[in-house]
Amino acid sequence: MATAVALSSSLKHHLVLGIRIPQSPALCRRNGTRISTFRSFTVAMATPLEVCVKASVTTPNKLGDCPFCQRVLLTMEEKHLPYDMKLVDLANKPEWFLQISPEGKVPVAKLDEKWVPDSDVIAQSLEEKYPDPPLVTPPEKASVGSKIFSTFIGFLKSKDPSDGTEQALLNELSSFNDYIKENGPFINGEKVSAADLSLAPKLYHLEIALGHYKKWSVPDTLPYTKSYMKTIFSMESFVKTRASPDDVIEGWRPKVMG
């Protein structure tokens, strides 16, 4: 069983240096004397969160190409939570994995001594259990860009250039472009939220798979969509948790060839 323990860069800094964080930016006064008060850094956990994710099919002991796994890892990274990745070969699922995930699906995360499946459920559970920093997307914004992934798959699998699948994808990307133009740079405005962490891995797959299999890219007529992708793909948490392009290409090959 391949595992990899990850700590966010900011968390590693605090753990190594043993920094105590002030309770407030201001200094307190007691009996006329100016003093500082501190509290311990509390994000650190005794045991990293365990999470089962897809293993690479091109490189041993590396993360694979599942966008739903990356969403969970992005959430942990953005919340500065240490985690222990358990890399699962989905073509040859080990017995220990099937015992905790009878359907054989990833991601699965261990929360409060219980293995929790489904990236939606895991992300919501992490938000409830570790609310700071908050990543909640307001309900009225949570579905922004939600149809892009399904229309991307339809276009990727299409063998008929005139079947309307390319236009369906362009329509969704255009709607997203208009939304980000008015509300960006992220879905919830100035800060990254859960909706971005869900959409970004899917856009990454779109860019690589369509570029490889159809020689297609997001058109320059959608500058806000392109800028959004460039910005979020360059985030430290994204770079750390992304799959290799080769893995993304291999991951989509059965759908394209099938």
- Enumerate the active-site residues: 66
The residue whose two tokens read 């860009």 is 145
Integer angstrom CA distances of residue 149 from 94, 140, 143, 168: 29, 19, 12, 11
Q: What distance in Å separates the CA atoms of residue 67 and residue 81, rounded to the nearest whole number?
A: 19
Q: Locate 3 and state its tokens.
A: 């595992």
DSSP 50-78: EEEEEBPSSSTTSB---HHHHHHHHHHHH
Residues 6+ apart with CB under 8 A from 50: 83, 84, 86, 109, 110
- Between helix 165-183 and helix 148-157 the angle, nearest 10°, is 150
CB 117 within 8 A of CB 101: yes
Task: Give exposure, 7-28, as e/b (b: 16+ Cβ within 10 Å).
Answer: bbeebeebeeeeeeeeeeeeee
Amino acid (1-letter code) at residue 66? C
Closest CA to 119 of 228, 233, 197: 197
